[in-house]
Structure 1
Amino acid sequence: MEMNGGGRRRGRRGRKAGQAASRRELIARSMHSAEQCLRDRDHGTAYAHFLLVLSLAPELREDYKETFQYALMKWAEELYALHRSQDLFNCYEQALELFPNDDVICNSMGEQLFRLGFRDEAAAYFYKAVKLNPNSADAKENFYRVANWLVERWHFVMLNDVKRNRMFQKAIENAVQAGCKTVLDIGTGTGILSMFATSAGAPHVYACELSKTMFDVACEVMAANDMEGKIKLLHMKSNDVQVPEHIPERVSLVVTETVDAGLFGEGIVETLIHAWKNLLLEPKPKDANCDGYGQVIPAGAEVYGMIVDCPEIRRHHRIFVNEVAGVIVDTVQFASPVHCRSSDLNEPYATEKMSRVPGGYKALSQPFLALTADFNSLQDLERIASGKTCRISVVVQEQGLLDCFITWFVLHLDNEHSLSTAPSEETCWEQAVFPIQNLPADGYFVNPGDTVLLDVSCPDCYLRLDLVTVIRAGAADSGVSTDDMTMESEVDLCDALASLHTTHQTGTVRELCVLEPIEIALLNNVTYHQSFKNAISKVISALTRRENGTLRNENGALAPEECFLDPLYVLDVSEGFSILPLIAAQLGKVKSYSSVEEKQHCATLESLSERNSISKESLEFWLNQLEANGDVLQRPKSDKLWSVIILDVVEPCGLIRQDVMEKCAIAR
Structure 2
Amino acid sequence: MPNASAKPKHGRRTRRRHRPDPARNELVSSSLESAQQCLFSQDYGTAFVHYLLVLNLAPVLKDFAKESFRFTLFKWAEELDSVGRIQDLFDCYEQALELYPADEVILNSMGEHLFRMGFRDEAAGHFHKALKLRPDFPEARENFYRVANWLVERWHFLMLNDHGRNRKYQQAIQKAVQNGCNTVLDIGTGTGILGMCAKKAGAAEVYACELSKTMYELACEVVTANGMDGSIKILHMKSLDMEVPKDIPQRVSLVVTETVDAGLFGEGIIESLIHAWHHLLLPPQRGENEFRDHSATGRVIPAGATVFSMAVECLEIRRHHRLCVTEVGGLSMAAAGELQSPVSCSSEPDDSMEPYTTERLSRLPGGYKPLTEPFTALNIDFNNVQELEGLSSREVQEIRLPVTQEGVLDALAVWFQLHLDEESSLSTGPQEDTCWEQAIYPEHSAKGFVLKPGDELIVEVSCRDAYLRLCSVAVLRDGHKIPLDKHVDSQYSRNPNPEAELCSALACLQTDQSQTKDFCVLECSEMALLNNQEYHLSFCIALAKLISQLKVKYQNLEQECAFQPDPTVSANCSSMFYVLDVSEGFSLLSLIAASQGHVKAFSSVEKTKQQEVLKRLARSNNISEQRLEFWLNHTEDEQGMLQRPSREKLWSAIILDCVETCGLIRQKLMEKASLARCLLEEGGHIFPAKIMVYGMLVESDTLLLESAVQGQEPTLGFNIAPFINQFTVPVHVFLDFSTLECRHLSESVELFVLDLMDTNANYIHREVKLQATSAGRITAIPFWYHIYLDQEISVSTLNQNSHWKQAAVVLQQPLEVRAGEWVRLAVKLHKSTISISAHIENAPGQME
When normalised by structure 1's length, the TM-score is 0.82
Is the Cα contact below 8 Å between 1:313 and 1:435 reproduced in 2?
yes
Is 1:114 the counterpart of 2:112 in the alignment? Answer: yes
What is the aligned partner in structure 1 of residue 222 from structure 2? 221
Q: Give deviations 1:128-173, integer Å, cap 9, x for gaps.
A: 5666788988876665554333222222222222222111111110
Residue number in structure 2 paired with 1:373: 380
Give the partner amino acid of 1:219.
Answer: C
Instruction: After superposing the two structures, state which structure 1 stretch, 390-399 or 563-572, moved more.
Output: 563-572
The residue correspondences of 1:74-473 to structure 2 (distance < 5 A) are: 76-77=73-74, 79-81=76-78, 83=80, 85=89, 86-96=91-101, 104-105=102-103, 108-117=106-115, 118-128=119-129, 143-287=144-288, 288=292, 290-331=294-335, 332-339=337-344, 345-386=352-393, 388-439=395-446, 441=448, 444-472=449-477
Question: Structure 2 CA distance, aligned partners of 1:505 and 1:195?
Answer: 60
Report the Cα distance in structure 1 between the residues aligned to 2:400 and 2:460, rounded to whole angstroms: 9
Q: Given the superposition, is the C-alpha separation of residues 189 and 179 from structure 1 closer, same or farther in structure 2, using an over 3 Å criterion?
A: same
Q: Residues of 2 paired with 1:632 and 1:110: CA distance?
A: 23
Q: Deviations over 1:502-551 (max 9, x none)?
A: 69847675311111111111111222111111111111122235xxxxx9
- The equivalent of 2:524 in structure 1 is 517
For 2:297, the aligned partner's letter is Y
**Aligned partners of 2:480 and 2:234: how far apart in 1?**
59
- Which 5+ residue runs of structure 1 have no aligned equivalent? 1-12, 55-59, 97-103, 479-497, 546-550
| Closer, same or farther: CA 179–138 of 1 in aligned 2, 3 Å | same
**1:246–1:421 distance in 2 versus 1, CA, 3 Å:** same
* Whole-angstrom CA distance in 2 between matches of 1:596 and 1:318: 19
Preserved contact between residue 107 and residue 125 of structure 1 (Cα < 8 Å): no
How far apart, CA to CA, are the structure 2 residues paired with 1:347 and 1:292?
Answer: 41
Distance in 2, Cα, partners of 1:528 & 1:121 = 39
Which runs of 5 or more structure 2 residues have no equivalent in the other structure?
Answer: 1-12, 41-46, 81-87, 483-501, 563-569, 681-848
Whole-Å Cα distance in 2 between the matches of residues 593 and 629 of structure 1? 13
For residues 462-611 of structure 1, what are the structure 2 equivalents within 5 Å?
Answer: 462-472=467-477, 474-475=478-479, 505=509, 510-544=517-551, 553=555, 567-611=576-620
Taking the aligned partners of 1:588 and 1:435, their CA distance within structure 2 comes to 39
Q: Which digits, 9 at most, give the CA deviation of each residue in 1:594-647, with x for residues without a partner?
A: 110111100111111122222222221111343347425554432122222233
Deviation, 1:115, is 3.0
SS, match of residue 457 in structure 2: strand
**Following TM superposition, by how much is the alpha carbon of 1:569 offset from its aligned partner in structure 2, in angstroms?**
1.8
Residue by residue over 1:543-577, the C-alpha shift from the partner in whole angstroms, topping out at 9 and shown as x without a partner, is 235xxxxx971589587698776632222222211
| Residue identity in the other structure for 2:468 | L
Cα pair 1:47 1:68 within 8 Å, conserved: no
Higher helix share: 1
Establish whether residue 22 from structure 1 lines up as the match of residue 22 from structure 2. no
Asked if structure 2 preserves the Cα contact closer than 8 Å seen for 1:338 and 1:347, the reply is yes
1:661–1:36 Cα change, 3 Å: closer
Per the alignment, do residues 141 and 122 of structure 1 end up closer, same or farther by CA in structure 2, a change over 3 Å counting? Answer: same
Counterpart amino acid of residue 479 in structure 2: A
Counterpart residue type for residue 459 of structure 2? L
Deviations 1:230-266, CA, capped at 9 Å, x for gaps: 1111111111101111111111111110000000000
Question: Kindly tell me: are residues 116 and 420 of structure 1, through their superposed partners in 2, closer, same or farther at Cα, counting changes over 3 Å?
Answer: closer
Residue equivalent to 2:649 = 640
SS at match of 2:222: helix
Preserved CA contact (<8 Å) 1:348 1:464: yes
Q: Which residue of 1 aligns with 2:690?
A: none
Match 2:624 to one of 606, 615, 618? 615
Separation in 2 of the partners of 1:35 and 1:500? 79
Q: Contact 1:333–1:438 (CA<8 Å) still a contact in 2?
A: no
Task: State the distance in 1 between where 2:582 and 2:142 align.
Answer: 32
Spell out, residue by residue over 1:422-455, the C-alpha distance to the aligned partner (whole angstroms, 9 max, x if none): 00100000000011113354xx111111110010
| Contact kept? 2:114, 2:122, Cα under 8 Å | no
Could you tell me how far 1:105 is from its partner in structure 2?
A: 3.1
State whether residues 440 and 503 of structure 1, in contact with CA within 8 Å, keep that contact through their aligned partners in structure 2. Answer: no
Structure 1: which amino acid aligns with 2:584?
E
**Aligned partners of 2:658 and 2:669 also within 8 Å:** yes
- 1:20 shift after superposition: 2.5
Query: More deviation in 579-588 or 393-402?
Result: 579-588
Distance in 2 (CA, whole Å) between partners of 1:70 and 1:562 is 44
Distance (whole Å) between structure 2 residues aligned to residue 228 and residue 72 of structure 1: 44
SS at match of 1:626: helix
Say if 2:284 and 2:299, in contact at 8 Å, map to a contact too: yes
Q: 1:467-508 CA deviation, whole Å, 9 max, x = no partner?
A: 111122x32799xxxxxxxxxxxxxxxxxxx99966984767
1:273 Cα deviation after fit: 0.8
> Aligned partners of 1:571 and 1:130: how far apart in 2?
38
Number of aligned residues: 612
Give the structure-2-normalised TM-score: 0.65
State the partner residue of 2:778. Answer: none
What root-mean-square deviation, in Å, do the aligned CA atoms of Structure 1 and Structure 2 show? 3.7
- Seen in structure 2, the aligned counterparts of structure 1 residues 23 and 528 have a Cα distance that, compared at 3 Å, is same
How many percent identity over aligned positions? Answer: 48
Deviations 1:61-107 (A, max 9, x none): xxx986686676456445535546313311312444xxxxxxx4367
Q: 1:346 to 1:387 in 2, by over 3 A?
A: farther
What are the superposed Cα offsets for residues 371-400 of structure 1, whole Å, 9 maximum, x if unpaired? 111100111111222263111010000111
Quote the Cα distance in structure 2 between the aligned partners of 1:595 and 1:283. Answer: 58
Instruction: Call closer, same or farther: CA 1:39–1:525 in 2, change over 3 Å.
Output: closer
Give the CA deviation at 1:126: 4.5
CA contact (8 A) 1:180 1:290 kept: yes
How many Å separate the matches in 2 of 1:398 and 1:25?
91
Q: CA deviation at 1:340?
A: 5.8
State the 1:220 CA deviation.
Answer: 0.7
Structure showing greater radius of gyration is: 1
Letter in 2 for 1:350: T
Tell me the distance in 1 between the aligned counterparts of 2:141 and 2:642: 38
Describe the shift of the 1:660–1:359 C-alpha distance in structure 2 as closer, same or farther (beyond 3 A): same
Change (3 A) 1:399 1:226: same
* Paired AA for residue 452 in structure 2: N
Moved more, 109-118 or 429-438: 109-118
Is the alpha carbon distance of 1:590 and 1:225 closer, same or farther for their aligned partners in structure 2, counting shifts above 3 Å?
A: same
Bigger fraction of residues in strand: 2
Residues 220 and 143 from structure 1, CA distance in 2 versus in 1: closer, same or farther, beyond 3 angstroms? farther
Aligned partner of residue 112 in structure 2, secondary structure: helix
Decide whether aligned partners of structure 1 residues 138 and 394 sit closer, same or farther in structure 2, where only a CA change above 3 A counts: closer
